[in-house]
Structure formats: structure tokens, C-alpha cells
């Protein structure tokens, strides 16, 4: 079992920055891909960014050049640095981890990011 706990959300003005953190605990050795998703009110959950244990990243077009995902120890922590935030970035941000060995998909409970105009 894997537990994901997000932190770092909050209220920020348009143009500001926030850094989200996700800590994974439990069976973390086989978490090949970790990432961030978000869900705005009335919308479907969407991919924000992912990163593999090898450091390969993928980002949604809407956040390219503004958000950076990182995973310093390639195992149990993943971060999302969000710069130049826009009101349309307002959403609940969820941490996700994929266990390749067990074929399991884990989610955190989410952290709310609100960007005021």
C-alpha cells in the first residue's frame, strides 16, 4: 500500500507562485511514475505534469513554461513549482503515483489552489 500526502496549496494572486509537495510512504520502491493532476469546479480531472524515476517529464500544454515538476530523490517526494499563476489554474491538485510492479494507481486527497484575479 502507498499513502500520498499533498501540501502547499493556498490562495495566491494572479502572477504569483506556489510550490506543491507530495510525500509518498509505504511501498515506494516501485513507483516509476509520479505526477500531478488537477480538477477545477465542474470540470474533469486533467493531467498537469508527470515525472519518471529517470527524470523524464511530461507537461500539459497549458502549464508549459510556468510549472516545473521535480523529484529529487527519484523515490518518495515529488514537487510542483508553479509560477505565473492564472485564475484558470484554480483547482484541487492531486498527487498520483503508478506502481509498475503491482499495477496499482494511487491518489492523494488533494490540495486546493486558488488564484485570484
The 10s digit of each residue's pLDDT in 2-61 is: 999 999 999 999 999 999 999 999 988 889 999 999 999 999 999 999 999 999 999 999
Burial group, residue 108, by CB count within 10 angstroms (0-12, 13-18, 19+): buried
pLDDT at 73 over 80: no
Sign of the torsion formed by the C-alpha atoms of 97, 101, 102 and 103? positive
Pairing of strands 104-107, 91-99: antiparallel
Tell me, what's the pLDDT at 36?
98
Residue 56 pLDDT: 94
74: confidence class by pLDDT, cuts 50, 70, 90: low
Which residue bears the cell 494507481?
105
Neighbours of 90 (CB within 10 A): 18
Length of the chain: 117
User: What whole-number distance in Å separates Cα of residue 76 and Cα of residue 113?
Assistant: 22
Amino acid at each position: 500500500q502507498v499513502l500520498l500526502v499533498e501540501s502547499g496549496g493556498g490562495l495566491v494572486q494572479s502572477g504569483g507562485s506556489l510550490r506543491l509537495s507530495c510525500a509518498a510512504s509505504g511501498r515506494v520502491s516501485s513507483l516509476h511514475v509520479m505526477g500531478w493532476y488537477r480538477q477545477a469546479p465542474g470540470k474533469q480531472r486533467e493531467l498537469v505534469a508527470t515525472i519518471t524515476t529517470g527524470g523524464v517529464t511530461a507537461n500539459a500544454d497549458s502549464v508549459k513554461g510556468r510549472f516545473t515538476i521535480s523529484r529529487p530523490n527519484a523515490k518518495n517526494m515529488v514537487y510542483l513549482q508553479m509560477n505565473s499563476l492564472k485564475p484558470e489554474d484554480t483547482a484541487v491538485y492531486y498527487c498520483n503515483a503508478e506502481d509498475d510492479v503491482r499495477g496499482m494507481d494511487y491518489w492523494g486527497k488533494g490540495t486546493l489552489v486558488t488564484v485570484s484575479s
